[in-house]
Amino acid sequence: MNTKEKFEWASKDPKSLTEVFIDHIYGSYYKNYLRDSERYERLNNRFFLCITLLGFLVTLLIGLKSLFQTELESTNLDKVFTVLAFILPSVSSLLLLYWTQRGYKRKEEIREEARIECKFLVNEARIRFSKSKDDPEALESLYKWINEQVRQLQLRQAKGYFLVHNNRDKPIPD
């Protein structure tokens, strides 16, 4: 932080500091949680689609192979169909294992919960701000309240996220 920024920050009144802080929570935290939630939703949808398509392809291959068995026996396609029928379920299993081990579904849920809670906090802070914008003590109280709420949200997010990310069910005892 340079001297000019420090001076600008130090010279602001509690009203503008509180207003800037609420906007910061919305612009940084809320939008970040929204972006992460949407990203994990896309990942989950892609994994689900790939796994489903691979299962469908195996069924289709086996069906086509049995329908055209006599035609395929005289070509190398019979072997290709057989190899694909064995490989595709393995690929599907690997994708499923990776998807579940990385915890993408739970990460989506964790970030979506934070997005909802963060939006609530911002809305609540804006209501409280509009009621107390001319009272410096009330603004200080609001600032402290939302700062504590965001701190608790971040701690819950970190614990939940890293539990899933490290493939754990429970936190490691202190």
User: How does residue 172 score in pLDDT terms, banded at 50, 70 and 90?
Assistant: low
Provide the 3-class DSSP secondary structure of residue 50.
helix
pLDDT at residue number 1: 53
Mean pLDDT of 157-171: 82
Q: How far apart are CA 54 and CA 29, in angstroms?
A: 37
pLDDT at residue number 162: 87
Beta carbons within 8 Å of 20's beta carbon, 6+ residues apart: 12
Mean pLDDT of 19-38: 96
Q: How far apart are CA 13 and CA 139, in angstroms?
A: 10
pLDDT at residue number 68: 85
Structure-token pair, residue 52: 């489903």
pLDDT, one tens digit per residue, over 104-158 is 999 999 999 999 999 999 999 999 999 997 899 999 999 999 999 999 999 999 9
Predicted structure pTM score: 0.80
Identify which of 17, 19, 95 has the alpha carbon closest to the alpha carbon of residue 52: 95
pLDDT, one tens digit per residue, over 44-102 is 999 999 999 999 999 999 898 888 888 887 788 888 888 898 999 999 999 999 999 99
CA distances from 156 to 59, 123, 159 (A): 44, 20, 5
